[in-house]
Structure 1
Amino acid sequence: MTMDLPSGEKLPIYVDTAVFAKSVHGEMLRCADCHSDKNGYPHNSKPFKNRRDVTVAYYEQCKACHFANYTKTLDGVHFAVLAKGNQKAALCVDCHGSHDITRPTEPRARISATCAGCHQKESDVYVKSVHGKALAEQNQDVPVCTDCHRAHDIADPRDGKLSMRTPEVCGRCHTNEKLMAKYGLSTHVVDSYLSDFHGMSASLQRKTKGGPKGMVAAVCTDCHGVHDILSAKDPTSHTVKANLVQTCRKCHPGANENFPSAWLSHYQPSWNKASLVYGVQLFYKFLIPFILGSLAIQIVIHLWRVVVNR
């Protein structure tokens, strides 16, 4: 069963009851719960020019049950694009489907496949990354699109706000001790970043009035990549030693071959790594308390003598 639209497109109006029964709504909703405007037969016709007009017309039907998620979409980039008159912006049914809605994480790889419908170029890059390759092997630990971009209130990556949240986003997984131990990765990457020049600068800029505009401090994605993140052991990785100077030159055009050596990466100083830095830190850990303690003792002795002499 189909309807002919003025655009020449055919609108399918057949619904497979077996498919709908297996959907998340199969045991809860009836047709009229969503199609509440259909209250007689034959149905009143509507001036739809094309299939997209139909989708947009029923866009807000989901609001009745999913109001919290609906309101989040109002703050997202997709709604902002739609509000400007671009009907190609993703709506609820574009991501979730209509009569065949299932849980989005079953399987988890379905999320990235859904986003690829509009963002094919980014998807092609992602599938070659360390996260994308692991996802293809059914690894449930790696992030998919919505883990970084969120699901309903997706931010526009061009306004800088997403970049400012990068350490927080990456830190959700990379500070998880149990998860990182599984892959032999350090959980100090965020701490080490926030304690160096880049992290401190980014934190200060985040607090300044005016937000992330004019951002100059590097965040995780500036060094590791965005959708093309690779293992640190991969010879084509942005952060492997042979390529690191080129990565630094994106912000520091005059960087020479020795420039990356001034950075400890995410390593914690130790006798095995940056022993001189570790030694200086250790020296000051004892020197500063000794000096402060000596000054405190001197003040106490001086006050005692003043009191006694009085």
Structure 2
Amino acid sequence: MVQLLIVGLLAGGALAQKAPEKLRDSVAACLACHDDKQLSVQLRDGATMSLHVDPQGFLHSVHGSQLVCTDCHARYEENHPSGATFPSRRAYAIASYETCKKCHFDTYTRTLESVHYELLKNGLDSAPICTDCHGAHNIQNPHEKRAMVSRSCASCHDGVYLRYAKSVHGKALEEGGNQDVPACADCHTHHQIQAPGTTQFRLGSPQICIRCHGDRQLMAKYGISATVAQTYLSDFHGVTASLAGGGALLPQQVVVTCIDCHGVHDIASPRLMGGEAMKASVAATCAKCHEGASPAFPAAWLSHYEPSLRHAPLVFFVQLFYKVFIPFVVVGLVLQVLLHLYRVSLGR
């Protein structure tokens, strides 16, 4: 016990480098026992739960310099309750996680509107809670380690994560450390996660993509067109999505959104696919709705580029002609009517 106390005091001294004086003794007192890797408690279901806390993990966590143990474990005094208080490890976690709302109340209330909380409320104890995603004593800043967010999701959604890790977004983040590409929470949000299979999510998916692909500065960095939103919303597919969002169409009348063509978690890079492979992929995608579409069918689509001298020059000149011709005709007709009225007035 003396050795444990010494270890605990040393750990407390390490924490004191970042913590005020009053935190040192409190944390050290707890670590005197909880730095023991063998420390555990038996729960009512017979399972053994470790009570070990890694001093360095806590020290380098976001809470290491701000909180003491009793800020979260307020009801645990010198005589701790026995493990028999909890029927299982999961029951303990669920009973304890609401402690987070003392500091993170706004965030906690957003989780109450998520699909995860809905599952938990309906009796699915395995539905994720705060500590499943963020950890308990070694919580890191998710904004600094964005890849960690997706790996956290992988603990439940491993199949989805494997597809994401092979996608153009996942490879850039996981292998290249690119902080510009989206992780899971950028599309699904962090806490107010909605069921992705709903019509509401599908109709809102273009807005998710536009956050990045409509950012001209960001897209210019990678040589990608930033007119995705404009070109999508101006074609037939985008117009139907806009009308449905405004209530003018029924949701089932929406033809195509971004995810229908590009996929969801397995999005590929057109550049890496190569020209012929990309054409074949687009043709196969179109054929899902347009039965009997030939391999040349997608050639009628301008992709996500506005007509220009470089992209679809013929369409560009036709548009330019009508931009000049239509105003000329309208102005001419108005002048003709005005001149006719003037002539009539003179005749009187």
TM-score range, shorter chain: over 0.9
More displaced, 236-245 or 83-92? 236-245
8 A contact 1:238–1:244 mirrored in 2: no
Question: Partners in 2 of 1:89 and 1:256 — Cα distance?
Answer: 46
1:110 and 2:134 equivalent? no
Please name the residue that 1:188 is paired with: 227
SS in structure 2 at match of 1:270:
coil
The answer to whether structure 1 residue 43 and structure 2 residue 76 are counterparts is no
2:179 paired residue among 140, 149, 167: 140
Measure the CA separation in 2 of the matches of 1:33 and 1:156. Answer: 34
Matched with 1:58 is 96
SS of the equivalent of 2:64 reads: coil
One-letter code of the match for 2:212?
Answer: C
CA distance in 2, matches of 1:29, 1:278: 62
Matched residue of 2:306: which SS? coil
Residues 112 and 145 in structure 1, CA contact (< 8 A), matched pair in contact too: yes
* TM-score (norm: length of structure 1): 0.92
Q: Which moved more, 1:222-231 or 1:260-269?
A: 260-269
Report which stretch shifted further, 91-100 or 174-183: 174-183
**Residue 265 of structure 1: aligned partner:** 303
1:198 matched to 2:233? The reply is: no
Aligned counterpart, 2:255: 217
SS at match of 1:99: coil
Worse-superposed segment, 141-150 or 291-300: 291-300
Q: Report the residue type matching 2:150 in the other structure.
A: S
Residue of structure 2 equivalent to 1:18: 56
Q: Conserved in 2, the CA contact under 8 Å of 1:24 and 1:102?
A: yes
Task: Indicate yes or no: 2:152 matched with 1:119.
Answer: no
Task: Look up the match of 2:216.
Answer: 177
Mapped partners of 2:61, 2:275: distance in 1: 42
Q: Kindly indicate whether the alpha-carbon contact (under 8 Å) linking 1:174 and 1:189 is maintained by their aligned counterparts in 2.
A: yes
1:241 partnered with 2:284: no
- Partners in 2 of 1:41 and 1:211 — Cα distance? 62
Q: Which amino acid aligns with 2:197?
A: R
- Tell me which residue corresponds to 2:36: none
1:230 aligned counterpart, secondary structure: coil
CA-atom RMSD in angstroms? 2.2
Q: Which has the higher contact order (CA 8 A, sep 6+)?
A: 1
Q: Secondary structure at 2:272's aligned position in 1?
A: coil
Contact 1:19–1:99 (Cα < 8 Å) also in 2:
yes
CA distance in 2, matches of 1:239, 1:250: 17
* Amino acid in structure 2 at the alignment position of 1:151: H
Cα separation, 2, equivalents of 1:209 and 1:71: 33
Deviates more, 1:72-81 or 1:253-262: 253-262
SS at structure 2 position matched to 1:58 = helix
Please give the secondary structure, in 2, of the residue aligned with 1:3. Answer: strand
Partner SS, residue 110 of structure 1: helix
Unaligned runs of 5+ in 2: 1-38
Stretches of structure 1 lacking an aligned partner (at least 5 in a row)? none
C-alpha separation in 1, matches of 2:97 and 2:253: 36
Matched, 1:77 2:140: no
Q: Which has more radius of gyration?
A: 2
Moved more, 106-115 or 33-42: 33-42
CA contact (8 A) 2:40 2:52 kept: yes
Shift of 1:40: 5.1
Instruction: Judge which range, 46-55 or 137-146, deviates more.
Output: 46-55
Match of 2:288 in 1: 250
Residue aligning to 1:29: 67
Aligned length: 309
Match for residue 199 of structure 2? 160
CA drift of 1:13 comes to: 1.6
TM-score for both structures, normalised by structure 2: 0.83
Which deviates further from its counterpart, 25-34 or 71-80? 25-34
